[in-house]
Amino acid sequence: MNITQKILANPDGGTVKAADPGQTLPTTGYFVGGVVSSLIIDENALIPDQEECIETFVAYLIEYVADADYIGWWTDAETRDLYVDGTTWFADYNEAEQATRDRGEIAFWDIERNREFRPVILKEG
């Protein structure tokens, strides 16, 4: 099964190694998306259009984006839109939290706890 097929088979979420989708994933640490802007697919898009968009985006990440070691995806519970991201693995919580802020991401994924973390953003003033 290629990456696009994995995404469409399990749109609720997942992560694969970009260069080798069958490779074992880390069991600890954190995934942070936003290496480049996410691909966002409207839930009402036609299936052939979804497949072509995902295949093109995944090929771009693998070929041209050095920091996208992993490809992650998830479906927004409110909008049902599918997000596909170039993703980086971090061993350290603080580094993952900082990368999340730097990339303008909403949250990062704690692999061991199997849940998202949203960094606290302090407002100035």
Specify whether the CB–CB gap between 23 and 17 falls below 8 A.
yes
Pairing of strands 82-90, 39-41: antiparallel
How far apart CA 18 and CA 120 sit, in angstroms, is 29
Confirm whether 124 is domain-assigned.
no
Task: Work out how many domains the chain is built from and give that number.
Answer: 1
Coil vs helix vs strand at 109? strand
DSSP letter for 98, please: H
Could you read off the pLDDT tens digit of each residue along the chain, which spans 125 residues? 889 889 988 888 888 888 788 888 999 999 999 999 999 988 777 677 788 899 999 999 999 998 899 999 988 878 888 899 999 999 999 999 999 999 988 889 999 999 888 887 656 65
pTM recorded for the entire structure: 0.83
What distance, in Å, lies between the first and last C-alpha atoms of the chain?
51
Pairing of strands 39-41, 115-117: unpaired
Confirm whether 88 is domain-assigned.
yes
- Record the tokens describing residue 93, joined without a space: 């919580």
Confirm whether 89 is domain-assigned.
yes
The range of the structural domain enclosing residue 89 comes to: 3-19+29-112
